[in-house]
Amino acid sequence: MKLWDKGGEIDRIMEDFTVGRDRQMDVRLARWDVVGSIAHATMLGQVGLLAADDAATLVHALSELLEEIDANGFAIDDGVEDVHSQVEKILVERCGDVGKRIHVGRSRNDQVALDMKLFLRHEMRTLRRTAIEFATLLLECAEQYRHVALPGFTHFQVAMPSSFGLWFGGYAEACIEDVAVLDMAINGANANPLGSAAGYGSNLPLDRDLVTRALNFDRLHVTSTFAQMSRGRTERLCAMALAQVASTLARFAADVVLYCSESYGFVTLPDAFVTGSSIMPHKRNPDVFEVLRARCNRMQALPLDIGSVLGNLPSGYHRDIQFTKDRIIEGIDEMHLCLHVAKHVVPHITPVQGLMDDGAYDLAYTVDAVNALVAGGMPFRDAYKCIADDVARGSFVRPDGASISDHAHIGSVANPGLDVLRQRLSALSAPHDI
């Protein structure tokens, strides 16, 4: 069944090539196709394009189908081209000729654009909640280990004293900032394209505002041309948000891999979270974080992947755009998995106590020594030269009583500002979803 079929014979190779993986991906859109169709049928009844009884019949059948999808999933029959055709086929089977009227006033172009908007809005909101949960977990770890000292590095060289409170807290703040990027993507998906039809509207008396309200969209895509151009644009915005969260996760994972190595030895993982070697009996490999790093780094290419499809397209609908669908759906699935694994594994990271007691990190206190001289009245540049000379002669000694508690301003080692971050987290209220 093809909604566009005019009875002519279709070349099978051409058909298979152009349809690609649409049928597999469309299964993920089924509930949203039905949700959109409920709003559309209701509107058709309100404006008189459907008799009230016919509209009620369609809404009832669609509501039953929605319950079935949520309970048992959805399948597209052999010979049926896509989710839109399958839903219409089911309506015709259950409602007779009334089912054939569901397509009045819309095209598959604006129908799939609506399905993707609803799907992406829902999925990005779900990821937003998970990102907040992960940030909350990182803050809990920061609080638990806020007084455990950690050597700080720049250029892979010993730099200054740090702490696990500052380390975990830094990534918590990154996740909080990432939520703003997720909100950008949610906003991009939170507009109604339905009623734009094939990209140029309709001469039927459609009430697009009614559908916008029914589907709880923030706004209407006003021009039918932009409603069509938003397809791909919305997916790319979501891909950028996924890539941003993935960047934070990848960098965190890279730190953990480094900190687990024998050369650093800053954190440990329990036996259940490491793997071994087929030849080296001593190996305890942090594979889970290496795989997390790889998956998240690979996700950095997603915005470019989707953007490359859109790069030279003029306005209007083009079949090329279907190749953004599978990429963004799979990217969302990947991000759900990565956040789930990160939330599961991070609580099992155990920082090593007493790291800064090692004389190998004495040079981390050179700035403290400079500041002590400055506090005594010496100009900073002179104090810097004095301590640099001590280091060059090999005579530098860690100041007596040097401690991370001396670093007291907000955002420093002894005061990582976790209360402020908790306040920011609590302000990130979850938006209403349908």
pLDDT at 5: 57
**Contact assessment for residue 62 and residue 34, using Cβ atoms and an 8 Å cutoff:** yes
Q: Report d(CA 290, CA 270) in Å as an integer.
A: 16
pLDDT at 7: 61
Q: Report d(CA 138, CA 343) in Å as an integer.
A: 9
Q: For 22-79, write each residue's pLDDT tens digit.
A: 778 899 999 999 999 999 999 999 999 999 999 999 999 999 999 999 999 999 998 8
Low-confidence ranges of the chain (pLDDT < 50): 4, 432, 434
pLDDT at 431: 56
Q: For 398-412, write each residue's pLDDT tens digit.
A: 988 777 666 778 998
Q: What is the CATH number of domain 12-104?
A: 1.10.275.10
Q: Do domains 12-104 and 109-202+222-356 have the same CATH topology?
A: no
* Residue with the two structure tokens 């089924």: 30
Q: Report d(CA 106, CA 87) in Å as an integer.
A: 14
Long-range CB contact pairs, 112-115, < 8 A, 24+: 112/29, 112/84, 112/231, 113/193, 113/194, 113/196, 113/227, 113/228, 113/230, 113/231, 114/32, 114/36, 114/192, 114/193, 114/194, 114/215, 115/29, 115/32, 115/33, 115/36, 115/83
CATH 1.20.200.10 fits 109-202+222-356, yes or no: yes
Q: Which two tokens stand for residue 252?
A: 């965190």
Classify burial at 300, counting beta carbons within 10 Å of its beta carbon; exposed 0-12, middle 13-18, buried 19 or more: middle
Torsion of CA 171, 172, 177, 181, to 10 degrees: 80
pLDDT at 3: 54
pLDDT at 430: 57
Q: Report d(CA 326, CA 394) in Å as an integer.
A: 60
- Three-class SS string for the chain? CCCCCCCCCCCHHHHHHHHCCHHHHHHHHHHHHHHHHHHHHHHHHHCCCCCHHHHHHHHHHHHHHHHHHHHHCCCCCCCCCCHHHHHHHHHHHHHHHHHHHCCCCCCHHHHHHHHHHHHHHHHHHHHHHHHHHHHHHHHHHHHHCCCCEEEEEECCEEEEEEEHHHHHHHHHHHHHHHHHHHHHHHHHHCEECCCCCCCCCCCCCCCHHHHHHHCCCCEECCCHHHHHHHHHHHHHHHHHHHHHHHHHHHHHHHHHHHHHCCCCCCEECCHHHCECCCCCCCCCECHHHHHHHHHHHHHCCHHHHHHHHHCCCCCCCCHHHHHHHHHHHHHHHHHHHHHHHHHHHHHHCEECCCHHHCHHHHHHHHHHHHHHHHHCCCCHHHHHHHHHHHHHHCCCCCCCCCCHHHCCCCCECCECCHHHHHHHHHCCCCCCCC
For the beta carbon of residue 394, count every other beta carbon within 10 angstroms. 6
| φ, ψ at 161 (rounded to 5°) | -65, 140
How far from 100 is each of 50, 86, 363, 417, CA to CA, in Å? 11, 12, 78, 61
pLDDT at 21: 73
pLDDT at 295: 98
Q: For 266-303, write each residue's pLDDT tens digit.
A: 999 999 999 998 999 999 999 999 999 999 999 999 99
pLDDT at 4: 45
Render the burial of 80-92: b for 16+ CB within 10 Å, e for the rest.
bbbbbbbbbbbbb
Q: Report d(CA 346, CA 172) in Å as an integer.
A: 12
**Contact assessment for residue 208 and residue 194, using Cβ atoms and an 8 Å cutoff:** yes
Q: Report d(CA 434, CA 134) in Å as an integer.
A: 23
Which sequence spans correspond to the domains of the chain? Answer: 12-104, 109-202+222-356, 359-402
